[in-house]
Structure 1
């Protein structure tokens, strides 16, 4: 056999071995994208968010064209569709449907809130007390009925644990505020995603226990959120805001979501450069987080995105922060 033929045969065998290695085969990508711009009971304490649904609608083509998500695997719940029941039922169905090694992107764009007892809200990414769906109900003017919202510890954690134990890799991206008791409210020019509603009881934290020092409870789930618990998340939801901070497509968006769309669309950010800083061809969640955080600092946004788990809270073993984005690089096995 000629040397050139031997070379091509060797290359073919190597490529076959790589493609059949389960440690590098990605499972199916799925996405549940939730956005609420127009709340059923909007008014005092619960303002509408012009950019939230735009966040979701703009994200869909980016996921399809740049990240290999098929249209059949993307579920959108916006405004009237984004009820508490629909969100939980859709997550439950996905928990049953997805297989070990699959990836789920859960993206929420809307209001969040903290419990009345603010000592229960840890200042980290996964620790918002609740996300507010379309049909959030109010008790009085400034209190959210806890039975109508998505309380992390009560509602989200059991579903996330089911996915985690099954070996499904989850990226949760949350563009919402975590506590109305914000010490920094961002630019006065900018509206925010801070609801002034508190819950009618002291709920647990988003998807975990109540305290930041608790060990991170998941093996295959990572959370990237728009701001810390003592910050609001900016809403680029009026013409004055757009003049100061033009969005990627000229439409209203959450500030965090606008930066996320820029990053996921091109793999780079202005004044920051390529997100894949080590140029290894694999964008990790940590690299995405580094770029988004630095870009928001450069632009002057007074909110700091948060990534969970931290190095100190994640369990030993695979470093979730260095996981390839939207890809189960080391296919996790179900819990035993």
Structure 2
């Protein structure tokens, strides 16, 4: 049995750069080699400028072709995700979910990696291979909405040019029947997908413990590092990571409420201090209530 992984993380986009994607894949690489016995030579990283569309496809194809029954494999992507008008009639909602390589271009929509590209590349994963696909980007599919507030966060989705945004919004208004998105592509393939959010939701590039990460990757690594059962069933793992996300959201919400209460208390104390009577030359000033004398 061989363990293999392809880890892709992109911070240095030409527009709307991110902060936590490189940390995501470095954290995953450390987890795989130190806890899951992946050999370093079997873990491939594509980071920033090296994560072109051609390079991702080439390395993914090589990964799939190297697999034998009994092997374990992981494909991890951290970066921007988008929805684009479908280039075919296959998508029920008229939209493709796509990830953004570092060399994407709005002037060449074939420069994105769409759900149909992954269907094609991953369809040949051999039977008997345990293949996990982690997508920490927007519009990717299944887990739960990632943190978007309270952790110095920014969304992992690109602002589309106005003409493309109009096309996508028009397609979203049409009723969808049938499969859609990366999660549905994964259902047709011999693999498990762990994704940051639903197609219409936003994944978060956030700061945890003073360091930028994707919310999904941060809590996934935390769960797998701290768990006494490193070999967890995917459904159980998904639930545990979702629970961590929900708990973090509640903690962030409580922190915001406490911050608001503290701010109110500071303003109240400041007003009270500002209008407190003072002693001048031993003569006591008359007390005042509020900003004006009674």
TM-score normalised according to structure 2 size: 0.69
**1:80-99 superposed matches below 5 A:** 80-99=49-68
Match of 1:224 in 2: 194
Residue of 139, 145, 154 corresponding to 1:178: 139
Larger-Rg structure: 2
Cα drift, residue 103 of structure 1:
1.5
Question: Which has the higher mean CA deviation after the structures are superposed, 78-87 or 194-203?
Answer: 194-203
Q: Is 1:157 the counterpart of 2:119 in the alignment?
A: yes
Match of 1:265 in 2: 225
Counterpart-to-counterpart distance in 1, 2:154 and 2:113: 23
1:154-212: CA deviation from partner (whole Å, max 9, x where unpaired): x211111011x454331000000018xxx999328521112122769889xxxx95378
Cα drift, residue 265 of structure 1:
1.6
Residue of 32, 36, 51 corresponding to 2:6: 32
Q: Is 1:133 the counterpart of 2:101 in the alignment?
A: yes
Q: Is 1:101 the counterpart of 2:101 in the alignment?
A: no
**Contact 2:97 2:199 (C-alpha < 8 Å) held by counterparts:** no
59 and 107 in structure 1: CA distance in 2 versus 1, 3 angstrom threshold: same
Runs of at least 5 residues in structure 1 that lack an aligned partner in the other structure: 1-26, 140-144, 237-241, 268-273, 303-336
186 and 158 in structure 1: CA distance in 2 versus 1, 3 angstrom threshold: same
194 and 214 in structure 1: CA distance in 2 versus 1, 3 angstrom threshold: closer
Runs of at least 5 residues in structure 2 that lack an aligned partner in the other structure: 172-177, 252-294
Counterpart-to-counterpart distance in 1, 2:147 and 2:221: 23
TM-score normalised according to structure 1 size: 0.61
225 and 133 in structure 1: CA distance in 2 versus 1, 3 angstrom threshold: same
**Contact 2:11 2:79 (C-alpha < 8 Å) held by counterparts:** yes
Counterpart-to-counterpart distance in 2, 1:71 and 1:162: 25
Classify the secondary structure of the residue corresponding to 2:33.
helix
Aligned residues: 230
**1:110-129 superposed matches below 5 A:** 110-116=79-85, 120=91, 129=97
Cα drift, residue 93 of structure 1:
1.4
Cα drift, residue 81 of structure 1:
0.9
Counterpart-to-counterpart distance in 1, 2:154 and 2:60: 30
190 and 29 in structure 1: CA distance in 2 versus 1, 3 angstrom threshold: same
1:45-64: CA deviation from partner (whole Å, max 9, x where unpaired): xx101110111112211111
301 and 253 in structure 1: CA distance in 2 versus 1, 3 angstrom threshold: farther
**1:261-300 superposed matches below 5 A:** 261-267=221-227, 276=229, 282-300=231-249
Counterpart-to-counterpart distance in 2, 1:284 and 1:166: 18
Counterpart-to-counterpart distance in 1, 2:103 and 2:58: 15
Counterpart-to-counterpart distance in 2, 1:215 and 1:222: 7
Counterpart-to-counterpart distance in 2, 1:173 and 1:214: 13
185 and 168 in structure 1: CA distance in 2 versus 1, 3 angstrom threshold: closer
Counterpart-to-counterpart distance in 2, 1:177 and 1:232: 5
Higher relative contact order (CA 8 A, sep 6+): 1
